[in-house]
């Protein structure tokens, strides 16, 4: 007796018997639905009117009530709307056709051009196994002197860019996207202002940068779940290109707005607020997202994640949590920005945990020397500015004062100015030699 035929037919039964639920209540950002039993993370379709559906995701359940979070607006949803579970998690279609395209948080095009269908991949992938990750041993060139010289990154490293609002994050991201040594850029704009999206694409990224990039956008007015999904969609696209053996640059602006979106979702499904109103799921979700970047058996994802520092407080919860997960941080200083020093990178407050593994001893020694001179100048800056410092009191400060104008000129860089890594290291060594 051939049981295989009957087994296949039994497995087909769930697809033939369509479960249908109904909306019983709308509470805040969530829909309460009865009559279906989807798994957490399952995609569901809410029929708003004949032929018109809103995509939602199962976010939790309470006894026989399922809590759905919609990807679209709640307008038009009423009691009794039918809900159809799709029996699959959320997926995004990937492929080479994504290069040069601008997508929304669902992976759909928003640039007015048709998008060929590609290979579907689930967005909630697991990070690579720790034992299959290649060690980080090669330099990742950003083309920004202050980063390449003092906080050198490696291919597969994850860096945070910590800054308050209005100190040049977008411009710095655009410079890294245009000048970096990556094969492909994947850029996630999560919770950005709507007017800034086109400005970033045309002004900061440029036509040349867009040609090798995929941009995923979820603006601040869109539902929290869509902003969350944008970050995971971008990471999944980056993983696809990484698995083809390429070196991928993943830029995400911003990690803080991703955390705020998860806080909205967590509070909506009944999680208790903890530190500064953030729910426990926020701090559980951050490593799940960030650990997906890095080296795999072939290819790499080098990640730069901006973190909005609330009130310029570098110890606020999201900043502190991100710093503990990432492999280094670049701090943008409002004081430097106000002095028209761009990029406004605070070299003394920034660190790359893998710099010593990817640079030569000569490079590290030169960077350490110039850091010490810059620190000596900063410690005595007030005395120097008011003329109270007496020349000859401290030889280190004397050398710092003599070298300071050249060091500042080296750290400043115009947005359209690119410096190769060998040239950057050579200039760094020349400065260090004059500062000895």
| Model confidence pLDDT, tens digit, residues 11-55 | 444 455 578 999 999 887 889 999 999 999 899 999 998 888 999
Using the structure block, give the residue that is written with the tokens 């400060």: 397
Q: Return mean pLDDT, the chain.
A: 90
Using the structure block, give the residue that is written with the tokens 């990471």: 235
This prediction has a pTM of 0.90
pLDDT at 4 (0 to 100): 52
Q: Where are the beta strands (DSSP E) in 149-231?
A: 153-154, 158-163, 184-192, 213-219
- Is CATH 3.40.50.12240 what the domain over 92-359 is classified as, yes or no? yes
**Farthest-apart Cα atoms in the chain, separation:** 100
Interatomic CA distance for residues 322 and 306, integer angstroms: 10
Interatomic CA distance for residues 353 and 154, integer angstroms: 10
All CATH 3.40.50.12240 domain ranges of the chain, comma separated, are 92-359
Residue 283 Cα to chain centre, angstroms: 15
- Indicate the CATH number for domain 362-435: 1.20.1270.330
Alpha-carbon dihedral of residues 96, 101, 103, 106, nearest 10 degrees?
-10
pLDDT at 75 (0 to 100): 83
pLDDT at 182 (0 to 100): 93
Residue 92 Cα to chain centre, angstroms: 18
All CATH 1.20.1270.330 domain ranges of the chain, comma separated, are 362-435
pLDDT at 29 (0 to 100): 81
pLDDT at 5 (0 to 100): 55
* Pair type for strands 247-253 and 300-308: parallel
pLDDT at 7 (0 to 100): 52
254 φ/ψ angles, rounded to the nearest 5 degrees: -140, 160
Q: CA angle 388-394-398, nearest 5°?
A: 80
Query: What residue ranges of the chain have pLDDT lower than 50?
Result: 1, 8, 10-14
pLDDT at 112 (0 to 100): 86
Structure confidence by residue, pLDDT tens digits, 176-213: 999 998 999 999 999 888 888 888 888 888 888 899 99
Tokens matching residue 31: 């829909």
* Pair type for strands 213-219 and 184-192: parallel
pLDDT at 14 (0 to 100): 47
Interatomic CA distance for residues 387 and 374, integer angstroms: 18
Interatomic CA distance for residues 305 and 255, integer angstroms: 6
pLDDT at 374 (0 to 100): 95
Tokens matching residue 264: 């909205």
Interatomic CA distance for residues 72 and 300, integer angstroms: 33
Could you say which DSSP state residue 310 is in? G
Burial class (CB in 10 A: 0-12, 13-18, 19+), 49: exposed
- Indicate the CATH number for domain 18-88: 2.40.10.170
All CATH 2.40.10.170 domain ranges of the chain, comma separated, are 18-88
């Amino acid at each position: 007796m051939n049981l295989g035929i009957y087994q296949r037919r039994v497995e087909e039964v769930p697809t033939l018997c369509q479960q249908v639920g109904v909306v019983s209540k709308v509470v805040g950002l969530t829909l309460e639905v009865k009559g279906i039993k989807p798994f957490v993370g399952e995609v569901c379709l809410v029929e708003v009117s004949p032929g018109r559906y809103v995509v939602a995701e199962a976010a939790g359940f309470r006894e026989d009530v399922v809590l759905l979070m919609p990807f679209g607006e709640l307008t038009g949803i009423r009691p009794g709307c039918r809900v159809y579970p799709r029996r699959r998690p959320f997926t995004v279609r990937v492929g080479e056709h994504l290069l040069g395209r601008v997508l929304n948080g669902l992976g759909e095009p928003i640039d007015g051009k048709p998008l060929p269908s590609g290979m579907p991949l689930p967005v909630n992938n697991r990070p690579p196994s720790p034992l299959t990750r290649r060690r980080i041993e090669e330099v990742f060139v950003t083309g920004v002197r202050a980063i390449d010289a003092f906080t050198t990154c490696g291919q597969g490293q994850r860096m945070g860019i910590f800054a308050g609002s209005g100190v040049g994050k977008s411009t710095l991201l655009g410079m890294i996207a245009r000048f970096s040594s990556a094969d492909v850029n994947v850029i996630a704009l999560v919770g950005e202002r709507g007017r800034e999206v086109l400005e970033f694409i045309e002004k900061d990224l440029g036509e040349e940068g867009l040609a090798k990039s995929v941009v995923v956008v979820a603006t601040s007015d869109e539902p929290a779940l869509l902003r969350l999904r944008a970050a995971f969609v971008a990471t999944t696209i980056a993983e696809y290109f990484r698995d083809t053996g390429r070196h991928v640059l993943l830029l995400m602006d911003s990690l803080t707005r991703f955390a705020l979106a998860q806080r909205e979702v967590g509070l909506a499904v009944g999680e208790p607020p903890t530190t500064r109103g953030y729910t426990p799921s926020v701090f559980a979700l951050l490593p799940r997202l960030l650990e997906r970047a890095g080296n795999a058996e072939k290819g790499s994802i080098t990640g730069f994640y901006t973190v909005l520092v609330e009130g310029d407080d570098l110890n606020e919860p999201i900043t502190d949590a991100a710093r503990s997960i990432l492999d280094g941080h670049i701090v943008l200083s409002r004081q430097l920005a106000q002095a028209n020093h761009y990029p406004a990178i605070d070299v003394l407050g920034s660190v790359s945990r893998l710099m010593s593994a990817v640079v030569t001893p000569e490079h590290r020694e030169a960077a350490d020397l110039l850091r010490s001179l810059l620190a000596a100048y900063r410690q005595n800056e007030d005395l120097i500015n008011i003329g109270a410092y007496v020349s000859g009191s401290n030889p280190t400060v004397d050398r710092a004062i003599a070298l300071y104008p050249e060091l500042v000129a080296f750290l400043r860089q115009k947005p359209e100015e690119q410096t190769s890594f060998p040239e950057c290291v050579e200039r760094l060594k020349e400065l260090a030699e004059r500062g000895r």
